Structure 1
């Protein structure tokens, strides 16, 4: 079947010259050719992401046009075409080209586009949709994926990624495009003349930075903190630097070698602040100047990593769960008054540490599926119903939202807030590590970990499904010496209480996720990635001491890995 798609591309007379050359280069490698054509690049609930190159299973101008055609149909179907679509892009190969191709497809349908003149962070796009009263938004980015990837993320009129119901409608429109090679586009210059392609830049930046002033909790505290920041060759430098300056920070040091946009991300193995190697240059610079805090953002600036010096002067990279806990405790602890209906929102794979902290302040916690679109969807619901007041949202993978003027995780907001948290504790004679130890002493020693298995191509996808099927069908009664109390299967939305042998419905959308809840506040979870060829294994434990938690975590992981090794 894949050869039919390949032949369709090969015989297309107007195929882009660069893609035609690369397609010709693939003809001697049938395995690579099959992988490029064996399926259509999936447009899922988070948009699409894939390797660059020719083929139906690759990111290129034709698959982008197909996605844009689906978006155009969606916007028209919603009756919002006159409001237009905001479009941003990051520093990756073809990002600006894909942004313009999206605008050309939309323009063919008479839908205006507001396209940034140069690269911008994802959270600013989320803000821009709301600021410009647009019908939808697009960010061309592959987040922290390797250089050979790019992606297309779609946003609704609220500035959030499309939640399941809206996503399904758009996915259906995308899938109805039978031939990506035949999607019609308008001429760029004509669109500019007709006002259907409008370039935007500093005005939106200024409005975003004005909104950023609300992130500051204590405007008047001394900001005597030495900061090192790296945007990892991405989009964050300008807004993070300006946001810190207007908040009162003056000792801001940029890792200049990583400050310029670079689609190769040439100074790091991966432009992902979750991986400690991304901090190597920041740590070197931090040691040279004795910095109090190091910060790194991923290329599209929706994730933030933080590192802090320990008592020996060595920098310790905090986990997303730890950074989130520190920000949450600071927001709640420094608020002059807390609403009775305040709500923390986190994901099902995020530490329970946050829930315990929120409980201590009388703030309730809501769990959502993984993906910030679910957090954004809840914020919109709270605005409509008034049932809850959003206080903070976060996920373990370094994504946080402080204020809801954006509706996606926002590393710019997060950088300004965590710097303020660091300044607050420095004024008390403490580091962030000291503050974290205080939280552990008060609430228990929570410890988490994440393992990922990269399994590419069709065979990899089959292996991931085999793993999920095995863990679903197996009668797993203990892990790490802890009894399994509950198994939550989010694909069937069924929660099974193992000891009582009873079931109940999980009130969340269906998703291919499996979570095992153990006794004594321990758990592990399996989730195939929606954006990368990976399956992820999440772990969480709690005890009264660090060493005990470390041993417990190792034991739970060993149980899971033993089963995996038997499977693979």
Structure 2
């Protein structure tokens, strides 16, 4: 380290030639990426590129964060209730999970540890089932292979509430990353009973709860001989559970076709650019199988199996992807109609979605006398609404980002459930000589066409996070009266919960507040929403555009996209 001390000494010398000083500062620049900041711990935990340093995901950052969580658990007197830990197929996930378990065990906190990788929804379920105070999931969801993450769940199975996240963050900042972290050898802790290993037999309890969520349990058997589907876990943790749940509800094993290359657990995700079922390219290998075998449906789940995407077959035989909004609308409509027919729909049934998800679902609920609640982005808010309103009448929750949950066995999105219900739904429509494509077209005929999409504006470089914050601040300080030549009717700033009517200047309070989201209601019926990511230096802009057809909606979208991209 002597060279660093000498470099700093030279730079701090007031008599040093400016050009020499500049050269030395430039030489130190590469180290900034490792140490210029620390990863922020929030309600979504931590996420970052795997590499050394305080600004990245590595064993030492994981252990420091876990010590912060351990301090909170001790403060809450939750040592005996303990923590359950799971992990996905990413590089270092098992290593990070063992490091976290070792810190908890050293702090005398009861620790449950899944012996094999398990997905997010099962971890959420396990927190509730085992009556733990918290849970830890090592995952970076569908991010590129260079990333990993650390998600913390609280006793209800939802992500950590803001007040607890703030406490953990405070503890982390007070801890020396090396000196203040307690740890114990993982194998020794297991032998001493401080870490309890959970086997795959625990899955049976989870399967029972998922299968209870079928909307029409009788339908699969009617088409089981002819219905074929393709499934890919994209090298991730859905590889066992999704095919198994499909078999258990009646699909024939020989008709559940998997993508062999992508059934291999591999944190490098070698067959895809990103392990993201939102992207059509993720289905390339599955599509080859579907075409060859004339399959009805292709299902994909991300590495931690909380998000699900699909490709469906059109009448002409072409396979197309549909959005999370379209899948959510299909599921909601199917659940309501089939549960009503079966007599299992609660009298006061309600659903929950994020504010950036399609308004088509509001229309479906309104027509069917089902209450729809809109909440902020993040499945934890859906969990909070379930807690507030009650479990008995909850039927479905979703986010446009391909996350879905029915039932109250968990408090995070569940791609295992979603795969089951989408396959059941496809089977249902097949009994009526319809496809999912026909069902989607039917929704548009019944409720009107709505085009939903989003655009990501990514900031780059060392100052990316600051640049993102500045862009949102500038938009907030200079609210446009027009976007792409169209008048803005009103703006809802969810940071302070104020709705401003730009025609009259009148200000009113919104139902929701305290989230960095700006919502534009346009004069012609569209809505545009700007929301910065909580884990990456990017701003997502969501578009909801009613139109006669897709072509006209796309034309509007292009104009809006160009205008907002310039603003941000």
Classify the secondary structure of the residue corresponding to 2:215: coil
Counterparts of 1:330 and 1:399 in 2: how far apart (Å)?
17
Residue deviations 1:94-114 (CA, integer Å, cap 9, x gap): 111111111111111110111
How far off its partner does 1:561 sit?
A: 3.0
- Determine whether 1:95 maps to 2:102: no
Counterparts of 2:240 and 2:26 in 1: how far apart (Å)?
45
Aligned equivalent of 1:420, options 420, 424, 429: 424
How far off its partner does 1:173 sit?
A: 2.5
Contact 1:63 1:180 in 2 (8 A): no
TM-score, L = length of structure 1: 0.91
Residue deviations 1:360-390 (CA, integer Å, cap 9, x gap): 111111111111111112112233xx7x721
Counterparts of 1:139 and 1:492 in 2: how far apart (Å)?
32
- Determine whether 1:76 maps to 2:42: no
Residue 130 of structure 1 is matched in structure 2 by 128
Residue deviations 1:278-301 (CA, integer Å, cap 9, x gap): 111111111111110001001000
Gaps of 5+ in 1: 8-26
Matches within 5 A, 1:123-202: 123-180=121-178, 182-202=180-200
Residue deviations 1:23-59 (CA, integer Å, cap 9, x gap): xxxx997433201100111111100001111101111
Contact 2:299 2:419 in 1 (8 A): yes
Residue 269 of structure 1 is matched in structure 2 by 273
Gaps of 5+ in 2: 6-24
Residue 452 of structure 1 is matched in structure 2 by 456
Counterparts of 2:245 and 2:170 in 1: how far apart (Å)?
40
Counterparts of 1:553 and 1:528 in 2: how far apart (Å)?
20
Classify the secondary structure of the residue corresponding to 1:212: helix
How far off its partner does 1:521 sit?
A: 3.0
- Determine whether 1:538 maps to 2:536: no
Counterparts of 2:238 and 2:60 in 1: how far apart (Å)?
29
Residue deviations 1:76-126 (CA, integer Å, cap 9, x gap): 222221011010001111111111111111111110111111111111100
How far off its partner does 1:509 sit?
A: 4.6
Over 3 Å counting, the alpha-carbon distance change for 1:237 and 1:29 in structure 2 is farther
Residue deviations 1:187-211 (CA, integer Å, cap 9, x gap): 2233213311011022221111111
- Determine whether 1:369 maps to 2:376: yes
Aligned equivalent of 2:230, options 204, 228, 231: 228
- Determine whether 1:358 maps to 2:356: no
Residue 14 of structure 1 is matched in structure 2 by none
TM-score, L = length of structure 2: 0.91
Question: In terms of mean alpha carbon deviation, does 516-525 or 199-208 score higher?
Answer: 516-525
Contact 1:155 1:162 in 2 (8 A): yes
Matches within 5 A, 1:160-559: 160-180=158-178, 182-221=180-219, 222-224=222-224, 225-250=227-252, 251-336=255-340, 337=343, 338-383=345-390, 389-559=393-563
**The structure with more radius of gyration:** 2
Contact 2:216 2:339 in 1 (8 A): no
Counterparts of 2:527 and 2:149 in 1: how far apart (Å)?
32
Counterparts of 1:28 and 1:90 in 2: how far apart (Å)?
39
Counterparts of 2:348 and 2:167 in 1: how far apart (Å)?
33
How far off its partner does 1:534 sit?
A: 1.8
Counterparts of 1:293 and 1:29 in 2: how far apart (Å)?
54
- Determine whether 1:116 maps to 2:120: no
Contact 1:229 1:295 in 2 (8 A): yes
How far off its partner does 1:186 sit?
A: 1.6
Counterparts of 2:114 and 2:26 in 1: how far apart (Å)?
40
Residue deviations 1:475-530 (CA, integer Å, cap 9, x gap): 41223443212212122222222222122233435122211111343111111111
Residue 15 of structure 1 is matched in structure 2 by none
RMSD across aligned C-alpha pairs, in angstroms? 2.0
Residue deviations 1:510-556 (CA, integer Å, cap 9, x gap): 12221111134311111111122322111111123333322222232
Classify the secondary structure of the residue corresponding to 1:118: coil
Over 3 Å counting, the alpha-carbon distance change for 1:51 and 1:180 in structure 2 is farther
Contact 1:223 1:248 in 2 (8 A): no
Contact 1:307 1:316 in 2 (8 A): yes
Classify the secondary structure of the residue corresponding to 1:311: coil
Counterparts of 1:29 and 1:231 in 2: how far apart (Å)?
44
Counterparts of 1:509 and 1:134 in 2: how far apart (Å)?
30
Classify the secondary structure of the residue corresponding to 2:417: helix
Counterparts of 1:157 and 1:520 in 2: how far apart (Å)?
45
How far off its partner does 1:181 sit?
A: 5.2
Counterparts of 1:303 and 1:550 in 2: how far apart (Å)?
26
Counterparts of 2:567 and 2:81 in 1: how far apart (Å)?
53
Residue deviations 1:210-246 (CA, integer Å, cap 9, x gap): 1122121111112432110000000001110111011
Q: When the two structures are aligned, how many residues end up with a matched partner?
A: 539
Aligned equivalent of 1:67, options 65, 86, 95: 65
Counterparts of 2:80 and 2:113 in 1: how far apart (Å)?
16
Counterparts of 2:141 and 2:217 in 1: how far apart (Å)?
32
Classify the secondary structure of the residue corresponding to 2:544: strand
Residue 12 of structure 1 is matched in structure 2 by none
Classify the secondary structure of the residue corresponding to 1:458: coil
Over 3 Å counting, the alpha-carbon distance change for 1:342 and 1:171 in structure 2 is farther
How far off its partner does 1:180 sit?
A: 4.4
